[in-house]
Amino acid sequence: MSLKPSTFLSSSVSTISGTVSNLNNELLEYVNPEKPTHDHASVYYQRFFISKFNLDNRAIEAKFSTPMVVGNGDVVTVSGYPKGNSFQVLAYSNKTQHVSNHENWIVLGLGALFFLAVAVGLLNSELVAEGALAPKVFLIGFVGVAIYMGYRTLLIREAIALLQ
């Protein structure tokens, strides 16, 4: 097992390599509450594929929008951060099956820019200039979401860089 911490983002992202054992795949599905009740199209569902396994006796948990390509006995390198009793995966590389994957950091970055643009637009509104409370709360909320999405974007980029 190898563990090498990153120097960027205060060493919060690291990699672990090893052999997969005790693989358990789950599907978490959310239904859009605005979906018509008579329509069963899959486009109205939000799916998260959760893979839980051990990597050389270390608990690993991966949540992706597509199924993780991994099997028992595969040699895998995962990049992510410790959370509770397990290691949260942001990106992985399966050496046995020659597959690597990560979440889409570009969409996350664009989302962060969108929320920041909305916050800047709200900052320039007359309601904020007049001192109304509600626009200030929304302004703080949009900036907070933009910062979080930007941070997640940087974490995923760092995880991808550590795999290479």
pTM for the whole structure: 0.77
Q: Look at residue 11 and tell me whether its pLDDT is greater than 60.
A: no
> Where do the domains of the chain lie?
3-101, 104-164
Instruction: Please give the C-alpha separations between residue 122 and each of 14, 136, 146, 155, in angstroms, as whole numbers.
Output: 38, 9, 14, 28
Confidence of residue 164 (pLDDT cuts 50, 70, 90): confident
- H or E segment to which residue 146 belongs: helix 133-163
Q: Look at residue 38 and tell me whether its pLDDT is greater than 70.
A: no
Mean pLDDT of 42-64: 84
Tens of pLDDT along 95-153? 999 999 998 899 999 999 999 999 888 888 777 778 778 778 888 999 999 999 999 99
- The structure tokens 């969108």 sit at 114
> Residue 7 has which token pair?
């120097």
Contact 98, 118 (CB under 8 A): no
Q: Look at residue 5 and tell me whether its pLDDT is greater than 50.
A: no
Q: Look at residue 37 and tell me whether its pLDDT is greater than 70.
A: no
Tell whether domain 3-101 is in CATH 3.30.70. Answer: no
> Percentage of residues in the chain with pLDDT exceeding 70?
84
d(CA 7, CA 57): 25
Q: Look at residue 92 and tell me whether its pLDDT is greater than 60.
A: yes
Contact 70, 6 (CB under 8 A): no
